[in-house]
Structure 1
Amino acid sequence: MAETVTMTDYQIGEAAEILRVSTRTLRYWDSIGLLVPSHRTRSGHRMYTGEDLEIALQILVYREVGLPLDEIAGLLDAPGDASRALRRQREILVERIGQLHRMVRAVDDILREDTMNDRDMSIEEKIELFGGTWKPEYQDEAELRWGETPEWEQSRRAQEQMTRADWHRVKEEQDTFVADLVDAAEREVTPGSDEAAELVERHRASIGQWYEVSRSKQVLLARMYVQDERFNATYQGRAEYLLSLVETQAQQEGVDLTDVQWE
């Protein structure tokens, strides 16, 4: 029988707003037994107590330091193991803090010098903004491989028109996409589903701001991500999962995955 709701209980929408996660995430946590609401209303609606939200906050902390959901579940069941797991993630946090500090300094520069928004970023500024994910030698390597292609020329022209604010927008959109990709992988979002299709379109749009990209080109790029560990690291180890989403969508749209051409 459903329990009586108290003034300190929260419906799923209220809990999601407090925790700043989606209701879909809370439903998924419930489905895998990670965070089961203490009770439901007579009509079956999930109701979360203050204690439930405390557990949810622990989950969010563990996720922020990079722990997978199955490991988080074990930590919640055996709190004594948490210290060992967190020490293992400390180096990741330290590196991430350094990247955040670099981004804060870059934003401060923009706030102090609004006129700087009207010019392109220098190499040094791009390194500061993108940290370890952007290095001058990467651009040199890319130019060596693709410098004679139409896509390279389109990308070069697009970059010439970008301001510092545009570069920060690109970085923010990339970070958001990667976070959503990781979340979808953890929730085992099925390739070919509506949510997967949305991620695939966002990925193609992120490339399309540089040059024209067909679904076939997107497949070949996603395959390259899997083969190059630098790209896999950019997608936090989810390049294989991204490839599965892209290939499934392409196949649904009639692309022959056994004979994909750059066209």
Structure 2
Amino acid sequence: MRNVHEMSEYTIGEAAEILGVTPRTLRHWETKGLLVPGWRTTSDYRLYTEDDLQTGFAIVVYKSAGLPLADIASLLEESSAKSRIDRLKRQREVLSAQLDTVHTMITHLDEIIAQQREQEITMEEIKKVFGDDMPGYQEEAEQRWGHTKEWAQSQEVQKGMTLEDWQRVKAEQDDFVAALASASDNGVKPGSAEAEELVARHRAQIGQWYDVSTAKQVLIARMYVADPRWEETYKGHAPYLLELIEEHARREGLDLEHIEWG
């Protein structure tokens, strides 16, 4: 770009760059009669003079103060400094009122945030739903998986949960365990429609915390079998659940001998 001090006429692109606006904005100002370039080339290209740029800078300043284009047009036409000052004082009053409104809104938001924090679920309340061992399970889980994206996802979900949400999770878990036990007692075969429904329910329970694939579901079910605490959670039916899930995975074409988390 040419040096500003070496020229007195500027193309629309150069004028826009100097003023910190876009050529489209300059064209819009022209249609509103705010800034009409002083010259045109023989090819009808706009050329802006130093006086045009001074007007442009004034428009930029007025817009930054929140003045609408109609008021800016009136200001530019004002020949009296007192009239311009009076108009700008009125705009200052408008901005002050808007600032007061913003401060009020921020105060209300702070109050809402404080109320929400008061409603956050505590570990003591979670213990009432899942039992006294819950804090220990939570700590162990963080030690084992705290570095994973799944852990991060689950923690984000928990932040927005209420006591009612935790109670719902517990009720759904209890209902699932009862359905699993019933299916086992009634000899529901892996791969059957009823078995597939149980697999889908189990996957949905995990999926409410983090993204889960069939491979992940298999590995989680295998963990249930390996950990006596999960065996207790599933009332001794963890191996049966694993059978159902592995048959589902087999039908999806997974190699059960080479399952990887993912």
TM-score of the pair, normalised by structure 1: 0.54
- Equivalent position of 1:212 in the other structure: 211
8 A Cα contact 1:217 1:261, kept in partner: yes
- Equivalent position of 1:124 in the other structure: 124
Q: Distance in 2 between matches of 1:129 and 1:156?
A: 18
One-letter amino acid matched to 1:119: Q
Matches within 5 A, 1:71-90: none
Instruction: Provide, for residues 128-177 of structure 1, a one-character-per-residue CA deviation record: whole Å limited to 9, x for no partner.
Output: 11125x42111111100000000000000000011111111101100000
Q: Distance in 2 between matches of 1:120 and 1:248?
A: 41
Q: Distance in 1 between matches of 2:214 and 2:120?
A: 30
Instruction: Provide, for residues 96-155 of structure 1, a one-character-per-residue CA deviation record: whole Å limited to 9, x for no partner.
Output: xxxxxxxxxxxxxxxxxxx99x833211111111125x4211111110000000000000
Q: Distance in 1 between matches of 2:235 and 2:167?
A: 20
Matches within 5 A, 1:33-48: none
Instruction: Provide, for residues 3-42 of structure 1, a one-character-per-residue CA deviation record: whole Å limited to 9, x for no partner.
Output: xxxxxxxxxxxxxxxxxxxxxxxxxxxxxxxxxxxxxxxx
Point out which structure has higher relative CO (alpha carbons under 8 A, 6+ apart): 1
- Equivalent position of 1:239 in the other structure: 238
Equivalent position SS for 1:120: coil
Q: Distance in 2 between matches of 1:261 and 1:243?
A: 16
One-letter amino acid matched to 2:168: R
Equivalent position SS for 1:197: helix
One-letter amino acid matched to 1:212: D
Q: Distance in 2 between matches of 1:177 and 1:260?
A: 25
- Equivalent position of 1:31 in the other structure: none
The percentage of aligned residue pairs carrying the same residue is: 54
Q: Considering only aligned residues, what root-mean-square deviation do their CA atoms show, in Å?
A: 1.7
Instruction: Specify every segment of 5 or more residues in structure 2 that has no aligned partner in the other structure, as ranges.
Output: 1-114
Matches within 5 A, 1:90-239: 119-131=119-131, 134-239=133-238
Instruction: Provide, for residues 176-204 of structure 1, a one-character-per-residue CA deviation record: whole Å limited to 9, x for no partner.
Output: 00000000000010000000000000000
8 A Cα contact 1:154 1:211, kept in partner: yes
One-letter amino acid matched to 1:208: G
Q: Distance in 1 between matches of 2:235 and 2:122?
A: 26
Q: Distance in 2 between matches of 1:191 and 1:244?
A: 7
Equivalent position SS for 2:209: coil
Q: Distance in 2 between matches of 1:242 and 1:140?
A: 26
Aligned residues: 148
Question: Displacement of 1:254 after TM fit?
Answer: 0.9
Equivalent position SS for 2:131: helix
Matches within 5 A, 1:10-89: none
TM-score of the pair, normalised by structure 2: 0.54
Q: Distance in 1 between matches of 2:250 and 2:161?
A: 34
Q: Distance in 1 between matches of 2:119 and 2:183?
A: 36
Q: Distance in 2 between matches of 1:157 and 1:126?
A: 16
Q: Distance in 1 between matches of 2:166 and 2:139?
A: 19
8 A Cα contact 2:203 2:212, kept in partner: yes
8 A Cα contact 1:119 1:164, kept in partner: no
Q: Distance in 2 between matches of 1:237 and 1:119?
A: 37
Question: Displacement of 1:221 after TM fit?
Answer: 0.1
One-letter amino acid matched to 2:214: R
8 A Cα contact 2:215 2:259, kept in partner: yes
Instruction: Provide, for residues 210-237 of structure 1, a one-character-per-residue CA deviation record: whole Å limited to 9, x for no partner.
Output: 0000000000000000000001100001
